[in-house]
Every structure is written in structure tokens, then in C-alpha cells.
Amino acid sequence: MSSLATLAKSQAGKRIFWFRQDLRLADNPGFYQAALNGAVIAIFILDESQDDFKMGGASRIGLYHSLQSLQAKLANKLNIYQGRAQDIILALAEQHAIDAVYWSRCYEPWRVKQDLAIQTRLAERHIDCTIFNASLLWEPSAALKQDGSPYKVFTPFYKNACLHAPQPRVPLSAPPELNLIKDATSTLTIDDLPLRPAHTWYSALEQHWVMGEEGAHQRLADFVEHGLANYKEGRNFPEKNNVSRLSSSLHFGELSPNQVWFKVREQSSERAIPMQDIEHFLSELGWRDFSYYLLSHFPSLPRENFQKKFNNFPWQTDDLLLTAWKKGQTGYPIIDAGMRELWQTGYMHNRVRMIVGSFLVKNLLLHWHQGEDWFWDCLVDADLANNSASWQWVAGSGADAAPFFRIFNPVLQGAKFDPQGLYTKRFVPELINMPVSYLFRPWEAPAGILQEAGVVLGKTYPQPIVDFRLSRLRALEAFRSCK
């Protein structure tokens, strides 16, 4: 008998499983244990009692559909609540004479504090409580340097603390049987939660996503079949299919990283995918773990510069420039394509995320907080660990960050990674007839070419809001001043 089964047998009775960022049945260790033996009250609580980083608009849409999918898989026996999780769980435990409460670990600082408080209150009532790792390949507390301090650079973290550790947990199946209890006092439905806004901007966004556990597994299968080969190089080109688009599924827990890890590793033998592509993709899963690792060990990461010298950086304030960036009206086509993709779909290709991030903090000298906040609201896959670590990386202020003087040239980046202009023209249709030779620098196109393409700079498409060369020099001077 497995250790999970043995523990469950010894704790037979009525228990609660609290779904959070693990909205799936398969490879959900806590839910598996809860369901092995005994009746389960499966619950989801929308708890927005924390002050910072309340869920953004696009994430709410993703959560809404993911919950609907989970509710269907649980035959409408997922109990929905809204309010302080501690109050709700303790009330349920008393009302239903609960023996044990299980949930999966989250790493946002306020959730860590919340979990400890709930554990303490349950222990006072002699109710067993077990928290499981269901969202990371390696637990942050176990991956330390020999002196006991946390890693601050990705490569030694991944190679020393991860690849030399025991391999990630083999994925579990879904529970073989479910005995779910419907709480008679739970009258809320998913539609009652404030997840879909009153305005209808999200209707177009929803068309780009199939949320839920089955949709996540289909995306994984499609990626393995069509995108894993040539991943190392192809992932840089936004018009190619060499990206997995699994970030939202991993954030909401529709899919576990363990399922992805083992599915991808199988391909080296089953389909002879080059190892360089497999290893590079697996290292990206490692980078996701590293972001959570940083957040776990440095909980101020979402707002404080990891490198303190950036506390003296002379950030500018300019609402007009910020608005132009948000709306994709900067006059730099690859920037505008990325920002419009974000608004229209709730997603942005990773290479383009780096380009637009560099432009905001270096060419516009606007604080990375402003980019972080906009992405937080617009990304379906908005994830505190990934969002804050990535913005600090691109700003140069983070752990193992790109050096500040690495400033992406949007003209060269566009020409290199969207050489036929397919991605850019899809999201910037004003330039659909612009020759590729001038697509990423329309302000340099001769008048005849602009006229033939139907482009009137400053009217049908904006002039550049900053001069790239001059803004680059200004950024380097600002960086020198803060050392």
C-alpha cells in the first residue's frame, strides 16, 4: 500500500479539501489523499482580504472558466464561498465535525501568513492539517547552498540544487473514487463571484482560451506534437508555434509542472526530439521554480529592488508616455504589436515581453512597477512570482538580472524575430501594406512608400514617442548616476 493510502486509511473520516491554485483532479496530492478514504467537502474560497495585488481583470476571467470546468468535473459538488478563508474553514470544521483539512501550498507572502494562522487555529481544535506541494518541482525550503543561504543566481540553483536533487515527484492519477459532500449552507455559485466585469471587453479575450484541466492537457499534447522540436531557437519567434502557452494552466493549477516535466522527458525516446530542445524547455520550468524560490526567500520581491543600488535610480513620471505604451501607440511597431496582443488576448509572447519591458524601463525611464501593474491586470497568466521576478530581471534590478545596459533595439528585434512581419501586421493592421524593409521603422520610409501603404504618420499610425538612440543614451546616463 502506498504511503498516501496508509496515511489516509489511518485518518478515515470527514475532511475538507481546499482548492486554491490547484484546480485539477489528477496529480493533486492533497485531493488524492483526502479522497482515498472518507467523505470530502471540496471547497473554493474567493478571499480578497489582503490589501496588495488583488487579482487583475484578465486573471479573474481565467479563474472563472477554470472554476466552471472544475465544478463540472466534480458533478457540481464544489462548494463556493467568499470571505476570509480562516473564518470559513473554521466554521465548516465545527459545523461538519471535520477530522482533517488538506490544501496545497501557495507562496504569495500573505498566503504564507494566512496558512500559518489557519494551521494554528486548527491545531488548537485538534484537527489534523496537512499542506502539500502541488505547484512546484522542488520545494524552495529544501534548495539551499551549502552554507544554508538561498541561491541568487539561476544557473547554480538549477544545476546544483535542482538537477542534483531527487527527481520531481512522479505524477499521481486522479482519485479512483469520490465521496463528495455538498454543504447545504453553501448557496453561492461561481457566477455570484465578482470574476466577470460588467463591461464586455472580456468577450473577445475569452475566445483565445480553453480553460480547465482537459484544455490544459490538450495544449500540452499540441505543444509536444508540434512545438517541442526546435524549441530552443523557435521560442524566440512570436509567429512560430514553439511556445507551450501553458503558463495560465500552471498558474491556476489545471496542470502540474510534474505532469509537464515527465511528459516532455518522455519525448526524447518516444519521438527522438533533440535533447537540446527538451533540456531547454525543462530549464524554463526550472526558471519558473526559481521565480517562486526568490519570492519564498525574499518576500519583498514584488515591490522592492532586489539590487539596492536601483533605489537611487532617477525614474521619470509621464502619464502620456505610459498611456501610449499601454495602448500600443508608441510608434514602434513590434512594441505596439505586443501591447495590443496583451490587451486583446490576455497573453504576450515571451520574447516580445522582454522587448516591451526593456522599452518601458529603459527608453521611457518609467518605473518597472508600472509595467508590473499593467501586466498584472491584463495577463490571464498573471502570477506574482513570475511577474515580479521577470520585471525585475528586465529592469536590471533583480536577481541574476539582465544588465541594465542591455537595451533591446525594437527595430532590430522586430526585424530579427518577426522577419516576415506576420505577427506585427496581425496586431498592427494599419501597417498591413507596409513593406517589411520599412515595417519596423516606418518613420524612415520614403513618402511614396508610405502613400502606397496607406500610412499617414501621426494620423493613421503614430510617430515614435521617443528617439531610440537618444533615449538609450539617456538611460545609460541615468544608470551611471545611481551606482
| 300-358 pLDDT per residue, tens | 999 999 999 999 999 999 999 999 999 999 999 999 999 999 999 999 999 999 999 99
Distance (Å, whole) CA 16 – CA 393: 39
Place of cell 457566477: 191
How far apart (Å, rounded) are the C-alpha atoms in residues 269 and 275?
A: 10
The partner residues of 134 in beta bridges, in order of sequence, read none
The residue behind cell 471540496 is 42
Cα 221 to Cα 62, 120, 168, 215: the distances in Å are 20, 42, 20, 10
Q: Helix 257-265 crosses helix 213-226 at what angle (to 10 degrees)?
A: 30
| Residue 140 burial by Cβ neighbours in a 10 Å radius (0-12, 13-18, 19+) | buried
| Whole-angstrom distance, CA of residue 169 vs CA of residue 73 | 24
Quick one: pLDDT at residue 12?
57
Q: Which pTM was predicted?
A: 0.93
Q: What is the DSSP string of 81-95?
A: EES-HHHHHHHHHHH
Strand order in the sheet with 40-46: 79-82, 40-46, 15-19, 100-104, 128-132
Check: CB of residue 287 under 8 Å from CB of residue 383: no
In degrees, rounded to 5, the angle at the alpha carbon of residue 370 between the alpha carbons of residues 367 and 373 is 145
CA angle 332-336-339, nearest 5°? 145
pLDDT given for residue 1 in this prediction:
39
Instruction: Spell out the domains of the chain, with CATH numbers in brackets.
Output: 3-134 (3.40.50.620), 135-171+214-297 (1.25.40.80), 308-481 (1.10.579.10)
Which residues partner with 82 through β-bridges? 46
Sign of CA dihedral 339, 355, 278, 422: positive
The tens digit of pLDDT for each residue in 349-379 reads 999 999 999 999 999 999 999 999 999 999 9
Per-residue pLDDT of the chain (483 residues; tens, 9 = 90+): 344 444 444 445 799 999 999 999 999 999 999 999 789 999 999 999 887 789 999 999 999 999 999 999 999 999 999 999 999 999 999 999 999 999 999 999 999 999 999 999 999 999 999 999 999 999 999 889 989 899 999 999 999 999 999 999 999 999 999 999 999 988 999 999 999 887 777 788 888 899 999 999 999 999 999 999 999 999 999 999 999 999 999 999 999 999 999 999 988 777 788 999 999 999 999 999 999 999 999 999 999 999 999 999 999 999 999 999 999 999 999 999 999 999 999 999 999 999 999 999 999 999 999 999 999 999 999 999 999 999 999 999 998 877 888 999 999 999 999 999 999 999 999 999 999 999 999 999 999 999 999 999 999 999 999 999 999 999 999 999 887
Provide the pLDDT for residue 126: 95
Instruction: State the cell numbers at 130.
Output: 496537512
Helices (H) and strands (E) in the chain, counts: 23, 5
CA distance 214 to 441: 43
What residues are labeled active site?
284, 287, 315, 350, 368, 391
